[in-house]
Structure 1
Amino acid sequence: MRNWRYARQTAIAALRSTFRPLRYRDRAANRMRKDDRHGGNDMTDTGRIFKRCGCIDKTTRRRSGDHCPRLGESGHGSWYFACSTSDLLGRTARVRRGGFTSEQAARQARDELLEMSREESTGRNWTVTRWLRYWLSTRTRIRPTTKAHYTHDIERFLIPRIGALTLTELNARQLTAAFAEISNTTNRYGLPHTVCTLQHVHTTLRAALNAAVREGVIAANPATRVELPARERPHAEVWTEPRVAAWRATGEHPVVAVWTPEQLAEFLHAVRHDGLYAFWWLLALRGLRRGEAAGLRWTDVDLDNAQLAVTRQRTTAGYTIHEGPPKSATSRRIVALDMHTVRLLRQHQRHQQRHHVRRDNTGKPYLCSGYVFTRPDGAPFHPGYYTQRLRLLIDRTGLPPVRLQDLRHGAASLAHTAGADLKTIQDLLGHANIAVTAEIYTNVLPAAQRRTAEKIARLVLNASRRP
């Protein structure tokens, strides 16, 4: 019985292998006859030309396509071409275009497409969606946070509005309309998108299309001709008494604000028993970034020589933590420490060691991570925790609000008031350009302004007393 079944299956397989080529050959012949019937006989490796229409078949209720009996009539239906081209990656892509009024127009369009280079063909066939995602996949030397911002701009703003267009179809008018639409929508807080958001999205799009220009996919970047509202860079404002009074009355506060030395001293005194007291002190007086302080290890701290080295940072992309080199080459720097800061770090180190001994005595695990600022179990904090913790501590003190980044602004202002020149402050903060230090971070505190005003007035008054 088993032998009979095996012989039967073998015979069926032999018959199928015999008639399969005939079946495929018959299909090819039928397709050739169909093309000849509709006037298209270019069924070669360069593609084919055929005619279709949009008539609905009464029996199947579907489009007749190339089966319509009226295709032989003049003016009925339109002409199409289908061919294969190679894109920028060397991959074969099947292209089909239609809507041509004559067979000659379809053939001419096909020939023009086949004569194009791979780069030109990519610009004609690739959509903006495909290019943006391809460009993003090639960005291997950017930081994870930057890639996360690019991904958000592409998926959230660009693809829903211009993703269906091909690269060669994209122009400045379409982009202007897309950015106008973005400005009329709201963010997750229900507020209109800011100029800063528009500028970020525009920067992402311009970078992606610049890459397309360099690859020869498009001739020019249409994003460079889009005009957006000017972005005003906010300057740090000091929490003077009138501003504090206005904030208590209305709840409104500046985008970037720094404490006076008295307010900073009040905050540090109020949080002197907090486990992260050394963290707040270090950011407020030495101007470290959040990621730099979060990634600081004891191996980078030299308390004997009163200095620390910024060699890495712990940042976030969404909620995911990424640890790597600092923001830029100039961010890798040596930061000098005063004796009081050295004493605070030694005290913090002893406190951390006591946590280690206490957990060992109670049989609880302790992670020797080597970070300066850790949880009681030795593991490093999530960088977002510092932002939330600072907000909670400020609410408890009743002081006017500042952000974690504002402590860095305040450190620059304090250094400027103490007499440090811009070059010293630039080295302290790790800026690549001294203009950034001068324009953004050094907002002179009121006491220094008053001293300067007194000196100017005294200069004029002394000159007026001379004979």
Structure 2
Amino acid sequence: MNGHGVIVKRCRCVDPETGRRRGASCPLLAQRGHGSWYFHCSTRNLLGRAERIRRGGYPSEAAARKSRDELLALSREEQAGRCWTVARWLRYWLSTRTRIRPTTRMNYTHDVERFLIPHIGQLILGDLNPRQLTSAFAQIAATRNRSGQLQSACTLQHVHTTLRAALTGAVREGLLTHNPARHLELPARPRPQAQVWTEARVAEWKATGERPTIAVWTPVQLAAFLDYVRDDGLFALWWLIALRGLRRGEAAGLRWSEVDLHTGQLSVVRQRTTAGYDVHEGPPKSASSRRSVALDQHTVRVLRQHRDRQTQRRSARATIGKVWHDSGYVFTGPDGMPIHPGYPTQRLRLLVNRAGLPPIRLHDLRHGSATLAREAGADLKAVQDQLGHASIQLTADIYTSVLPESQREAAEATARLVLDAGKPGGEIQRQLSHNPKPPQERPAEARPVTTASACRPRWKPSSATRATELRPAAGRRPRRTHESRWHR
């Protein structure tokens, strides 16, 4: 095949003897209107490799030749956009993502293989339009997850984020002129708010089993949990996450070289995350997550005790001839190796159940630390730095909640402000007292002037009357009255 390719006429007739399509050998191709025209040509793909292109379904030989010539006149990137399917581009895009985190790659791959390729993978990339994507997302929304429920708005938003990133890459590479997924309208994803485990919510949870998406313990409940797990091997980890707001991966990746117990400070410079069950260690979640966290004297004491226990465990293993790995991590297993990041999640669920406390997730301890810091008097900027957020709005909207005691104090302060505001407050106090006094009728001169009376012109005395009534007494300075000011 030469560079310009060939143009042939084919049909879909099936040979009854072989069961195969006759294609270009069908004897009926000479008839008018039987079969359609195809072209074959060879081009270079994005990687510079020779690639065969075959297109068909044209009504005439001239239409097939025109389409072939238009395709060959395009650039290499534009040819790929006209020839590649969405599935091919998505897999190529994933193969070129070399700087994303393993967890991000895992989520992208799941969205591509589970949702995008089955619904839009067969479409031509260059022909993709918003109508096709809207129909595809409607089909995805009608599918069910592993729990048998319809796909949530959060799942649809995640899939849309993956598709939008992939098509943005196609625009950047020159395969598309615009991103058709940019202006899709999807169900709004509700932003969860942290709910405090009040007595009413605890009672409802015990009766119905329903719990908030993000649940936060009260200080009393947190103190009860910390007292219950005082002898647990990961007591220092529960303390750090609950009071200083470390992420799970940050606590699992913390090393003793990054903890300064003399100055009371630790540095977050790495994290251990999971992609499936595989563990990956790398830099923190974002640039703002790389931070220094101040430690109070109680936290320093907890970490010192944890280090002493770790030293005793190492000596005990050496006594019985077992190997101890000096990994340098703060939180380790029985052999000194760092713990798996998924282990604290499972361990916390077991301990909370044994303690008889309302359930929370491991990440909810981080939410609770922000709430505790706010209640202790820390401003939002200090809480943002403690948690390592890039935006203070995220700290204010999601990671802080108001404890019932603070709400009650704010309500009392508001009512007290109104009651102490002078005469209106005195009237309200009399109304709220046990022996309220009947309201006294105001004098006529103190009654408010109605609109009609306010618009009525005031009587103007004559000059003789004014001279008689307003003549000052002997030896006294005339006092200015409302009428005299009004006439002046």
Question: TM > 0.5 between the two?
Answer: yes
Q: Which residue of 2 aligns with 1:428?
A: 386
Paired residues of 1:352 and 1:376 also in contact (CA < 8 A):
no
1:164 equivalenced with 2:99 (yes/no) = no
Which of 112, 124, 127 is the equivalent residue of 2:70?
112
Separation in 2 of the partners of 1:277 and 1:239? 22
Q: Which residue of 1 aligns with 2:373?
A: 415
Change (3 A) 1:393 1:44: closer
Q: Which residue of 1 aligns with 2:90?
A: 132
Give per-residue Cα distances to partners, 1:257-298, cap 9 Å, x unaligned.
100000100111111111111110111000000000010000
Separation in 1 of the partners of 2:345 and 2:212? 18
2:228 partner letter? A
Which of 127, 134, 145 is the equivalent residue of 1:176?
134
1:367 equivalenced with 2:325 (yes/no) = yes
Separation in 2 of the partners of 1:245 and 1:60? 73
Separation in 1 of the partners of 2:20 and 2:114? 36
Which of 318, 321, 324 is the equivalent residue of 2:279?
321
Structure 1 position 55, deviation (Å): 2.8
1:253 equivalenced with 2:215 (yes/no) = no
1:306 equivalenced with 2:261 (yes/no) = no
Q: Which residue of 2 aligns with 1:187?
A: 145
Q: Which residue of 1 aligns with 2:395?
A: 437
Q: How does 1:349-364 map to 2 (within 5 A)?
A: 349-364=307-322
Change (3 A) 1:386 1:209: same
Change (3 A) 1:61 1:424: closer
1:452 partner letter? A
Q: Which protein is richer in helix relative to its size?
A: 1
Which of 47, 59, 62 is the equivalent residue of 2:5?
47
Give per-residue Cα distances to partners, 1:339-395, cap 9 Å, x unaligned.
111111000000000110000010011111111011111111111110000000000
Separation in 2 of the partners of 1:448 and 1:264? 17
1:76 equivalenced with 2:34 (yes/no) = yes
1:271 equivalenced with 2:225 (yes/no) = no
Q: Gapped runs of 5+ residues in structure 1?
A: 1-42
Structure 1 position 234, deviation (Å): 0.2
Q: How does 1:201-220 map to 2 (within 5 A)?
A: 201-220=159-178
Structure 1 position 53, deviation (Å): 2.1
Q: Gapped runs of 5+ residues in structure 2?
A: 427-488
Q: Which residue of 1 aligns with 2:184?
A: 226
Q: Which residue of 2 aligns with 1:287?
A: 245
Q: Which residue of 2 aligns with 1:87?
A: 45
Paired residues of 1:292 and 1:312 also in contact (CA < 8 A):
yes
Q: Which residue of 2 aligns with 1:98?
A: 56
Partner-residue secondary structure (3-state), 2:99: coil
Paired residues of 1:300 and 1:308 also in contact (CA < 8 A):
yes
Structure 1 position 58, deviation (Å): 4.5
How many residues were matched structurally? 425
2:324 partner letter? Y
Structure 1 position 147, deviation (Å): 1.2
Change (3 A) 1:336 1:111: same
Q: Which residue of 2 aligns with 1:332?
A: 290
Give per-residue Cα distances to partners, 1:80-113, cap 9 Å, x unaligned.
1111122222222111111222111111111111
Q: Report runs of 4+ in structure 1 exceeding 6 Å deviation.
A: none
Given the two structures, how large is their TM-score scaled by the length of structure 2?
0.85
Paired residues of 1:279 and 1:373 also in contact (CA < 8 A):
yes
1:389 equivalenced with 2:347 (yes/no) = yes
Which of 182, 185, 196 is the equivalent residue of 1:238?
196
Change (3 A) 1:161 1:423: same
2:66 partner letter? Q
Structure 1 position 44, deviation (Å): 4.2
Partner-residue secondary structure (3-state), 2:288: helix
Partner-residue secondary structure (3-state), 2:39: strand
Given the two structures, how large is their TM-score scaled by the length of structure 1?
0.89
Which of 146, 152, 160 is the equivalent residue of 2:104?
146
Separation in 2 of the partners of 1:397 and 1:57? 75
Paired residues of 2:2 and 2:41 also in contact (CA < 8 A):
no
Separation in 1 of the partners of 2:51 and 2:59? 25
Partner-residue secondary structure (3-state), 2:279: strand
1:152 partner letter? H
Separation in 2 of the partners of 1:61 and 1:180? 38
Paired residues of 1:426 and 1:434 also in contact (CA < 8 A):
yes
Which structure would you say has the larger Rg?
2
Separation in 1 of the partners of 2:363 and 2:114? 26
Give per-residue Cα distances to partners, 1:402-425, cap 9 Å, x unaligned.
111110110000000000000000
1:458 equivalenced with 2:423 (yes/no) = no
1:67 equivalenced with 2:25 (yes/no) = yes
Separation in 1 of the partners of 2:250 and 2:21? 64
Separation in 1 of the partners of 2:229 and 2:385? 29
1:405 partner letter? H
1:286 partner letter? R
Identical-pair percentage:
67
Structure 1 position 54, deviation (Å): 2.5
